[in-house]
Structure 1
Amino acid sequence: MNIKQIRNATIIVEYAGKKFLIDPMLAEKGTYPPFPGSIKQDQYNPVVSLPTSVDEIISGIDAVIVTHLHLDHFDEAAQKLLPKDIKMFVQNKEEAKEVQNSGFQDVEVLTKDTVFEGIQLVKTKGEHGRGEELLKLMGEVCGVVFKHPSEKTLYVAGDTVWYEDVQKELDTHEPDVIVVNGGDNQFIEYGS
């Protein structure tokens, strides 16, 4: 297993001989305006440059996992730059349709029983904030657990706050390695 953070939630996971790109945000630094309602209204997104070329990032990728369709997890640049025939995993049927509408041909919804090239990919629960209004605004999110006999169990939590279902995922899968997106973005109206 090898995990390389690119920026934000964008990571490359090499696992059981396969290379996964998770939550690709591939635009140049400062391409997008600040997120509406966030406390960081002076920062255009992405806030840092890519550490290497896009070609190097996407070279040899076997599959892409998108935990949800927010701009900082699957941006317009990724939609344009990724090969349209690459294997794409998403969290639900609605998002699968949106990704297919972007031209991607091999889109699959993650479940608790997804298998890709002998690697079990388990969709996990997540909550993108606290409070009913904020959760409704932010929408669904997921994480993913990677399992293979030759590897340690990996849990990529995705954009979630700590709550009882995260503990249940930990108890169920007993991951050896956990990746958490910890950016502390806050929204003025909601206080979190």
Structure 2
Amino acid sequence: MKTNLRLVRNATVLFQYAGKSFLIDPMLADKEAYPGFDGTVNSHLRIPLIGLPVDLKTVTDVDAVIATHLHPDHWDMAATEKLPKEKPVYVQDEHDARYLMENGFSDVRIMEEENQADEVVWNKTACQHGSNDIIADSVMGPIIGKASGLFFHSEGEKSVYFVGDTIWTQEVENNLKTLQPDVVVVNAGYAQVVGFGSIIFGKEDVLRVHRAAPHAQIVAIHMEAVNHCILSRKELHEYAESHLFSSSLHIPSDGEVICF
């Protein structure tokens, strides 16, 4: 089966790779099910800002689920309630595994540095989910916690790097230059925490990705679905055009499939 990515909404993705299907970072609630995130911009808005563009069966009919971390816009209560409890779920660490097992999931697997499921091989990569100041803050630091990225690289397939919820760091730049991914999926909504700034990529960071990996195709997601993401698809598209890398950039609509 040809490698493809279907953006469901926000960072929720259906990913077909090397004959396997994965649901990544499921946020499955109905529109406006939850209050906006406290301490972030536009917190008066209820989230998700939009409804699911596909039915639940389509989302859950996968071989496995991967949670890069358990923030509610990557794994919400609806995911806990609606996902089949016997489905294999890969998580970043023991803390996240314990939460899911306590909520009834029977096949929870902690990702190693390198992981394999049949012909699919992927690495867990490091993220920094905000500035040094927010991570060191006694209140916000524990809330921000850890996040992870994913690098898929199976024989005969294009390599795909899900950068994850991170700001631009030297490690991200090194990954791009060393791994030389064919496709880079970026969480590009420029989410803002009051007093601390951005905790994920913005448009300038997407340009940095292009400059570090000029031959890669870039897919921008995590936009226009939660209250604190302030970068719109339109603004990113216009920025890419003005900086001459729009031909390398895909900005999918919710529900859209991109094939590689």
TM normalised by structure 2 equals 0.71
What does the per-residue CA deviation read over 1:134-182, in whole Å, with 9 as the maximum and x for residues that have no partner?
4624110000111111210111111111110101222332110010111
Aligned length: 191
Indicate whether 1:150 and 2:156 are aligned: yes
User: Which of the pair has more CA radius of gyration?
Assistant: 2
Greater alpha carbon shift after TM alignment, 151-160 vs 108-117: 108-117
Which letter maps to 1:140?
K
What's the counterpart of residue 183 of structure 1? 189
Once the two structures are aligned, what percentage of the paired residues are identical? 39
C-alpha spacing 1:149/1:191, structure 2 compared with 1 (3 Å): closer
What's the counterpart of residue 78 of structure 1? 79
- Specify which of 2, 5, 15 is matched with residue 4 of structure 2: 2
Maintained 8 Å contact 1:31/1:46: yes
Structure 1 residues without counterparts, runs of 5 or longer: none
Indicate whether 1:173 and 2:192 are aligned: no
Quote the offset at 1:100 in angstroms: 1.0
Quote the offset at 1:15 in angstroms: 0.3
- The within-5 A match list for 1:54-69 is 54-59=56-61, 61-69=62-70
Distance in 1 of aligned mates of 2:120 and 2:54: 28
Three-state SS of the structure 2 residue aligned to 1:79 is helix
Quote the offset at 1:42 in angstroms: 2.5
Distance in 2 of aligned mates of 1:191 and 1:94: 27
Distance in 2 of aligned mates of 1:191 and 1:85: 39
Distance in 1 of aligned mates of 2:118 and 2:82: 24
What's the counterpart of residue 55 of structure 2? 53
Distance in 2 of aligned mates of 1:56 and 1:110: 25
TM normalised by structure 1 equals 0.95
Greater alpha carbon shift after TM alignment, 23-32 vs 160-169: 160-169
Maintained 8 Å contact 2:133/2:196: no
Indicate whether 1:108 and 2:90 are aligned: no
Quote the offset at 1:118 in angstroms: 2.2
C-alpha spacing 1:89/1:79, structure 2 compared with 1 (3 Å): same
Maintained 8 Å contact 1:134/1:190: no
What does the per-residue CA deviation read over 1:69-114, in whole Å, with 9 as the maximum and x for residues that have no partner?
1000000111111111111111111111111111111111112221
Quote the offset at 1:120 in angstroms: 1.0
Structure 2 residues without counterparts, runs of 5 or longer: 199-260
Greater alpha carbon shift after TM alignment, 31-40 vs 104-113: 104-113
Quote the offset at 1:67 in angstroms: 0.4
Distance in 2 of aligned mates of 1:170 and 1:121: 15
Three-state SS of the structure 2 residue aligned to 1:167 is helix
Instruction: Please report the RMSD computed on the Cα atoms of aligned residues, expressed in angstroms.
Output: 1.2
Higher RCO (CA-CA < 8 Å; seq separation 6+): 2
Quote the offset at 1:62 in angstroms: 0.4
Spell out structure 1 runs of 4+ moving beyond 6 A.
none
Three-state SS of the structure 1 residue aligned to 2:149 is strand
